[in-house]
């Protein structure tokens, strides 16, 4: 089944404790992206990747890192999480770029205490 998977689905952590949210797609998609969803703000793009080893900042990259060492994986790293990073995070992928339809993972709900 074609899908985008994220792990973990739920995470409670404390300020400053490094964490990684994994994202994997099995559709051989070139473009992958991370978003955060907050009430009243919709979804905002954190980082995106056009291909392996090619990543770039979205609208809200502060406090996040990403890497794209393999085509299928695009982990989101929070080196020192803070409470303002409490949010719902979505990973997405598309075949050729941002102009193509993006398919989303199930979301990761993160609470930073």
What is d(CA 93, CA 29) in angstroms, rounded to the nearest whole number? Answer: 6
Is 69 a residue that touches another protein (CB under 8 A)? no
Q: Smallest distance, Å, CB 80 to another protein? A: 25
Q: Could you write out the DSSP letters of every residue in 31-63?
A: EEEEEEEETTTEEEEEEEEEETTEEEE-S--TT
Nearer to another protein, 40 or 69 (CB): 40
Is 96 a residue that touches another protein (CB under 8 A)? no
User: What residues from 14 to 33 belong to the interface with another protein (CB under 8 A)?
Assistant: 31, 33
The single residue among 65, 95, 103, 111 that binds another protein, judged by CB under 8 A, is 103
Task: Please work out the total of residues on this chain that contact another protein, with binding judged by CB under 8 A.
Answer: 27
30 close to 97: Cβ distance less than 8 angstroms = yes
**How do 76-78 and 42-51 pair as beta strands?**
unpaired
Is 11 a residue that touches another protein (CB under 8 A)? no
């Amino acid at each position: 089944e074609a899908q985008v998977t994220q792990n973990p689905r739920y995470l409670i952590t404390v300020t400053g404790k490094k964490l990684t949210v994994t994202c994997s797609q099995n559709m051989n998609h070139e473009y992958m992206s991370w978003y955060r969803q907050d009430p009243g703000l919709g979804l905002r793009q954190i980082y995106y990747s056009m291909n392996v080893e090619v990543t770039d900042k979205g609208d809200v990259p502060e406090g996040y890192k990403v890497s794209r060492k393999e085509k299928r994986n695009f982990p989101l790293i929070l080196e020192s999480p803070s409470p303002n990073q409490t949010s719902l995070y979505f990973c997405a992928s598309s075949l050729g770029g941002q102009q193509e339809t993006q398919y989303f993972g199930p979301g990761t709900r993160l609470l930073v205490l």
